[in-house]
Chains A and B, each alone.
Chain A
Amino acid sequence: MRHSRRLAIGASAIAAALLLAACTVDDGGDDGTGSGATGGGDDGELTQVRLQLQWLTQGQFAGYFAAQDQGYFADEGLEVEIVESGGDIVPQDALVNGDVDYAIAWVPKVLGSIEQGANITNIAQIFERSGTLQVSMADSGIETIADFEGRRIGSWGFGNEWEIFAALSQEDLTVDDIELVTQGFDMLGFLSGDIEAAQAMTYNEYAQVLETLNPDTGELYQPEDLNVIDYNEVGSAMLQDAIWADTERLANEDGFAETTVAFLRAVIRGWVYARDNPAETATIVTSAGSTLGESHQLWMTNETNRLIWPSTNGIGLVDQATWDNTVDMALQTQNETGSTLITTAPPDTALDMQYIEQALEDVEAEGLDVMGADFQPIEVELVEGGN
């Protein structure tokens, strides 16, 4: 009897494991597809498109989620799956491997990949401005890049450090003149004083500081408690979020160029929606599966808008000079080991604006404002913890 009871216990343990495993099959279905893709669409079959983000679902990618939710992709005959990335997923690698059709990635990082053989093309430079700041406490005395000398300067590494190095070389400083501290993906190092000037995105880490209680005042940190160095003003800003596609497919695959233009039309509409409806867009992103706090999400959406709008040439269209500027910095700036990001200029195929030009022309013909000349950011009040 005892024997069979033990057998039963063991069997039930295994059964439980199997059952749990089976449950996963049901639960695990949704991995990043937006929820609200509805809308008219063509009668014909929808073209499947996969878009790889650089990070988790968040306001930084608001325009794509807005396009999904508002049915702009479906209207173009596209069924878009928005694929999140995680700690070890590199968007341009996913693109090169053929996992996805389009990928969002920063230009300097991709330039490195292109030099190593990735054959991909920037088809739309969505962010016109850089969102990178270097944040220090107001009493730290760090107000310019020159003040970095001898101080503990934070950087995330992984290709996020080039703007700092470029700024240093403008001041005839090198990495040896500062103490470079590797920064985690939170602002604890900065708040505890281990890092004197921390790297921060306007739309994320800067807000994280402003959502934290200042132990000296008992209130949240205020912008006047902080010194902020903006790399756009320093002049070492590099191009960030851009949409990339496989060069070979653009040139040779039947219909891919048309799909690309259709995709970009929907993306433009999505970002215009995000510009005109920031609060609704933040909610869309949250319901697409982001667990960021409400005020943080709205802050991020609003700050992301500021990196795009007002647009100089129309959203996504970068002029050759600005592109060359980033390429030049990538060629000349040395990192802590003395090597540069790239050693030769990328091929001409690395930038191809014809698809976004076509898309802009198409949507402008519908009367869409793709410049946002009178864009005004909204006021976002951050609450503790971003909640």
Chain B
Amino acid sequence: MSEHTTATAIAEHSAGPAAALTTPTREGSGRARRLLMGLLGVLAVGVLWEAYKFLGPDDGVVVAGVRILPRTTDIAMPHLWDMAIRMTEPVTRAEGADLLWVATAKAAAFSLGVAALSWVIGVTVGLALALLMQRLRTAESAILPWVVLSQTVPLIALAPLVRNWGSKLSLGPISWENWMSVAVIASYLAFFPVAVGALRGLKSPDAIHADLLRSYAASWWQTLIRLRLPASVPYLLPALRLAAANAVIGTVVAEVSIGLRGGIGRMILEFAQSAAGDPPKSWAPIFGAICLGLLAAGAVALLGLALRRYRRGEEPA
């Protein structure tokens, strides 16, 4: 038995009662159905929006002084087609102004770039911390509480701090830019699920498997590569997805917080002032943010495809 198959066998075993593998043909038709259901879901949201707008009272539904359903005026809930038409018009009358959908796409691409960077930083830091905590029990007791605590610091406090520290840094000719602050803040949100998820994953193999490798006189490094990393994949993938979501949200919120120009967050801030005068316009960055989230989720799904061999029933992060 080659080492390769040993690792596979262990990974298979360690994942316990895993979901049965589907045959390629069933998988194909299943994918088509999933796509169809996804589209139907989007359509359903649209129909629900317009139906409520048509049927709901103008002033929404208020129970005991609390509005439980929103107003249905054109200002509060513009028609979907109005939003679509607005997308094809220029942002402003100013000369050379982009069409709204072009401007939104540009902003989304900018935010995606920052989010991708912060995802990479977050995942790297998270994995490094998880490895350290797995290797040294002391490190786990020392670091894990801080990792959890780190997520209780509100962004509103963090943003000015990071910008302030950043403005005092410069590496030779490269000076600290605001977008770097945004990336740092977003990666601060992204590293958390990775650190926690990867640690759980690395510790997931049964003692019997670790003992087996020890009986082979495998080093820590070999055990990591052959046993722990493959076994951590079912835990890691949901963590990476969460990290992607956190990176996107963190980027958009940090953009608002710092006022970084170019991305979706800034666009939300800017277009809020036309919320009453040009209601469909202020929805454009929200659609941009949705596309951003879908792209990020898609990218992680690609990663999951590559690691499919190790995905035996995913664990909730």
Contact = CB atoms under 8 A, between A and B. Distances in A.
A192 interface: yes
Contacts of A212: 75, 276-277
B163 A387 contact: no
Interface string B189-219: 0000000000000000000000000000000
A63 B255 CA distance: 26
Contact of A186 (B112, B114, B275, B305): B275
Contacts of A386: 273-274, 277-278
A24 interface: yes
B93 A293 contact: yes
A292 B270 contact: yes
B73 A192 contact: yes
Contact of B113 (A13, A20, A292, A384): A20
Given A211-B274, A211-B277, A294-B92, A17 B120 contact: yes
B6 interface: no
A99 interface: yes
Nearest to B244: A17
Contacts of B160: 88-90, 93-94
Most chain B CB within 10 A, of A12, A293, A296, is at: A293
B164 A28 contact: no
A192 B113 contact: no
B302 A192 contact: no
> Dominant SS at the B interface?
helix
B18 interface: no
B167 interface: yes
Interface in A123-173: none
Interface stretch (B46-54, B141-149, B220-228, B256-264): B256-264
A99 B161 CA distance: 11
B117 interface: yes
B307 interface: yes
Contacts of A8: 306
Contacts of B76: 188, 192
Given A84-B259, A387-B92, A185 B281 contact: no
Contact of A89 (B92, B258, B274): B258
A288 to B, nearest CB: 10
Nearest to B161: A97
Contact of A97 (B71, B164, B302): B164
Contacts of B159: 86-89
B83 interface: no
A385 B278 contact: yes
Contacts of B116: 16-18, 20-21, 24
Given A9-B302, A87-B159, A98-B168, 20 more contacts: A13-B300, A16-B116, A16-B299, A17-B120, A17-B299, A20-B117, A24-B114, A28-B178, A28-B260, A31-B179, A32-B261, A86-B159, A86-B255, A86-B256, A87-B156, A88-B156, A89-B258, A97-B167, A291-B92, A386-B278
Interface of A: 3, 6-14, 16-18, 20-21, 23-24, 27-32, 55-56, 84-90, 93-94, 97-99, 184-188, 191-192, 204, 208-209, 211-213, 215, 283, 286, 289-296, 383-387
14 contacts: A13-B306, A16-B116, A17-B120, A21-B117, A32-B261, A85-B259, A289-B261, A292-B92, A292-B273, A293-B94, A385-B281, A386-B278, A387-B92, A387-B93
